Amino acid sequence: MGEYRLICTDCGRAFGRDEVEYVCPECARTQRPGECLRGVLRAEYAIPRDGLRRFPREGPAGAARFIDLLPIDDPALLPPLPVGPSPLLSVPRLREALDTPRVFVKDDTVLPSGSLKDRASSLVVAKAREKGAGVVTTASTGNAATALAAMAAAAGIECVLFVPAEAPRAKLAQMLAFGARVLRVTGSYDDAYALCLEASLHFGWYNRSTAYNPYTIEGKKTVALEIWEQLGREAPDAVVVPVGDGVILAAVAKGFDDLRAAKLVDRVPRLVAVQAEGSAAIVDACEQGAATVTPLARATTIADSIRVAVPACGTWALRALRETKGRGVRVSDDAILAAIAELGRLAGVFAEPAAAASLAGLHGALASGAVSPDARVVLLVSGSGLKDIDAGLRAVAVPEPIPPTLDAVRRAIGA
């Protein structure tokens, strides 16, 4: 494990690794209802002056290879489900269609529960085991819950999940199949988030909820470490990230920033934050030059994984965009649906709406000049289309049944 301390991203106060559990206690006292989470903590590693010479480690599988930049003592504490590396795809047909010869797709649909959220949940379960916690919990629109349920099941830890009542059925099926106790909350994701925090404090459960638990960011940053390694130990020019609460965006920035601190890269790539038009609080703040993110009264989009009115990690995400000279892009639900079909047809990757939003956002970024066509760009595809079949079917034309005759085949194919 890399030695580390925790730094408050709001006030800058430093804490020892065992001094605080979730957020900065001073900033938490100033938290007001309906605003972005205050006191989010950032792990800062004690890196040798000459950097990390042997990184990643040879031998271990999955995230354990990156143990020198992860906050766990023993990689054996990670659940016995390998999380990564996921493939970085060259996608020649998509490149040709977009006229972008150096675009890549980072395909996290292949991870154990089918989403990037496995990265965070694996590390949080390892921390829970390190702390001797008997129950883990989280609030989620669906993917974080399924990921935590899978990792907890593999590690033999009880799991309690808070999800909106309207969470997609496929995600509900996953978390229930993994044996989790699922509490469907009448209301939004933000309502489920608040209730999960209250319940975890009351019952003493170890809380994985995004941004509130600093190790969610540390787990998700492994996607950046893998991209760096897969590009020949280099950073891309830009990474296009689907954004809801801002944690994945912050984590990508954190991963490359840690690599820079370790003298393994000399820069952090430009970040492009993609949000749905009805759930764009972070993009709004970026475009307005605002110092803080103003939460929305209500978030609406087909992409449930990025449907967030109050982005918990909004402040850090906004800072990451500015520090990398990044941009925010809004996309419509129609553009997201079109991107599901385009990504499937041209890259062979079936993405849920939130994951396909990255491709929809790349179209916008190319059109606006925010991303150059010849830049080396990585699209994060963060979740499988099998998690939301209803949305997937809306993205395609479902054929009518035909009689079992050759003539019917001819008519159907226009032969």
| 3-state SS assignment for residue 294 | coil
| 3-state SS assignment for residue 56 | coil
Please report which confidence band the pLDDT of residue 1 belongs to, taking 50, 70 and 90 as the band edges: low
Contacts of residue 201, defined as CB under 8 A and 6 or more positions apart, other chains included, come to: none
Which among 387, 286, 296 has a CA at the least distance from the CA of 327? 286
Residue 205 backbone phi and psi in degrees, to 5: -80, 150
Residue 158, exposed/middle/buried by CB under 10 A (0-12, 13-18, 19+)? middle
In this predicted structure, the answer to whether residue 13 has a pLDDT above a threshold of 70 is yes
In this predicted structure, the answer to whether residue 291 has a pLDDT above a threshold of 90 is no
Please report which confidence band the pLDDT of residue 163 belongs to, taking 50, 70 and 90 as the band edges: very high
Cα–Cα distance for residue pair 120/130, rounded to 1 Å: 15
Q: What is the average per-residue pLDDT within 132-151?
A: 94
Give the pLDDT score at 50: 81
In this predicted structure, the answer to whether residue 325 has a pLDDT above a threshold of 70 is yes
In this predicted structure, the answer to whether residue 189 has a pLDDT above a threshold of 90 is no
Question: Per the structure block, which two tokens stand in for 323?
Answer: 């520090």
pLDDT digits (tens, 9 = 90+) for 147-162: 999 999 999 999 999 9
Q: Measure CA 373 to chain center.
A: 25
Residue 189, exposed/middle/buried by CB under 10 A (0-12, 13-18, 19+)? buried
Please report which confidence band the pLDDT of residue 57 belongs to, taking 50, 70 and 90 as the band edges: confident
Q: Measure CA 268 to chain center.
A: 18
Q: What is the average per-residue pLDDT within 338-348?
A: 97
Percent of the chain with pLDDT over 90: 84
Residue 28, exposed/middle/buried by CB under 10 A (0-12, 13-18, 19+)? middle
- DSSP per-residue string spanning 157-170: -EEEEEEETT--HH
pLDDT digits (tens, 9 = 90+) for 199-220: 999 999 999 998 999 999 999 9
Residue 54 backbone phi and psi in degrees, to 5: -125, 80
Q: Are 164 and 136 in contact (CB under 8 A)?
A: no
For residue 249, the cross-strand partners are none
Question: Per the structure block, which two tokens stand in for 331?
Answer: 């996309």
Give the pLDDT score at 108: 97
CATH fit for domain 88-113+216-394, picks 3.40.50.1100, 3.30.930.10, 3.40.50.300, 3.40.50.2300: 3.40.50.1100
In this predicted structure, the answer to whether residue 377 has a pLDDT above a threshold of 90 is yes
E strands, 133-237, are: 135-139, 158-164, 181-185, 206-207
pLDDT digits (tens, 9 = 90+) for 253-276: 999 999 999 999 999 999 999 999
pLDDT digits (tens, 9 = 90+) for 395-406: 999 999 999 999
pLDDT digits (tens, 9 = 90+) for 224-236: 999 999 999 999 9
Give the pLDDT score at 225: 97
**Strands 103-107 vs 88-89: parallel, antiparallel or unpaired:** antiparallel
Give the pLDDT score at 273: 97
In this predicted structure, the answer to whether residue 193 has a pLDDT above a threshold of 70 is yes
pTM beyond 0.85: yes
* The one-letter amino acid at 222: T
Residue extents of the structural domains in the chain: 88-113+216-394
Mean pLDDT of the chain: 94
Give the pLDDT score at 260: 95
Cα–Cα distance for residue pair 306/309, rounded to 1 Å: 9
pLDDT digits (tens, 9 = 90+) for 294-304: 999 889 999 98
Q: Are 298 and 353 in contact (CB under 8 A)?
A: no
